[in-house]
Amino acid sequence: MLLDLVKFLLVAILAAVGANAAAGSLQQVTNFGSNPTNVRMYLYRPSGVAANPALIVAMHYCTGSAQAYFSGTQYANLADQYKSFIVIYPSAPDSGGCWDVHTDATLTHNAGGDSLGIASMVRYAIANYGVDSGRVFMTGTSSGAMMTNVLAGAYPDLFKAGAAFAGVPYACFAGSNMWNSQCAQGTLTMTAQQWGDLVRNGYPGYTGARPNDTTLSYNNFGEAIKQWTNVFGYSTTPVTTQSNSPLSGWTRSTYGPNFQAISAANVPHDIPVQATDVLAWFGLTGTTTTSTPTSTSTPPPSTTPTSTPPAPTTTAGGATQVQWGQCGGNGWTGPTICASPYTCKVLNAWYSQCL
């Protein structure tokens, strides 16, 4: 199963959300197995954790780090509370803090890239910390959400479920040099079959159970829904929809028992991570993420979004970008001037944003 929390604009930075009150600290782990790109592994294991705990792999955004995601999310704090799981916080080796979600190696089972380093962490945790191999989960924001989808496609044998907060579909960045403007701007479209074939090619011959997730610049929301409903054999029309779930203004669509997609209207890229909802989806708490739907038949989000991104304004000097919109970076051909009072801030070589 997988929950995907989405917003209407894909970018590559997340502001820290909520201070973490975890009692312990991160422990760096080395020599954990095959790690061709030198991804760093950090572990949070709460005092008194149960035997055979579950595992959550929590992956940071571009410009982030394991320490930033540890401090900016509540997973470690919740691990202290429930004592039923441990958390691995990988740290990307890229100088800009972004994950490799574009190379053939990272998109292919056991072929290399950042994804293999993370898979090795999971295998190490199962062998050395008594982790229950049937309760391994993944989550991430922005670039970390993209890696969540990569792992869902390339390592479906390792993960039970995932939760992606504002990313892009599996292989949407394939063949690029770290950043793919066509994908990021939501102009890369394929059929459901084409998207699904990309996932199946990540681990050729695999026929077992799969985790799932979707991701998004808002147009990517529909593309990812096409991708994962095709993989699971579901219709792109949701079975149920639920308004104001998990927050007011957010809409949860359920396409089958293994796939939900949540659209968050009017939410900037620093989308608030709903850690307790994620734990419920993973089955690590006594609550569930579904309830009586408010409707049972709606147009598929892949063709009829519940909200659309604000259009750039136009001035005498040409188009200007809105708040949170992209305004620069390698390969960017859109507006480079931000609407007042916002300014274009360079976040990394591939992405500048109106803040």
Cβ contact 215:146 at 8 Å: yes
Nearest to 155 by CA among 110, 198, 123, 125: 110
Cβ contact 129:96 at 8 Å: no
Angle at 300 between CA 313 and CA 261, to 5 degrees: 85
142 catalytic, yes or no?
yes
CA distance 227 to 225: 5
- Which residue in the list 91, 115, 142, 176 is annotated as catalytic? 142
What is the DSSP track for 247-305? STTEEEEEEETTEEEEEETT--SSPPP-HHHHHHHHT-SS--S----SBS----TTTS-
Cβ contact 20:77 at 8 Å: yes
CA distance 242 to 71: 31
CA distance 232 to 210: 8
CA distance 12 to 345: 12
Which residues does 94 contact at the CB level (< 8 Å), separation at least 6? Answer: 100, 178
Catalytic residue annotation: 142
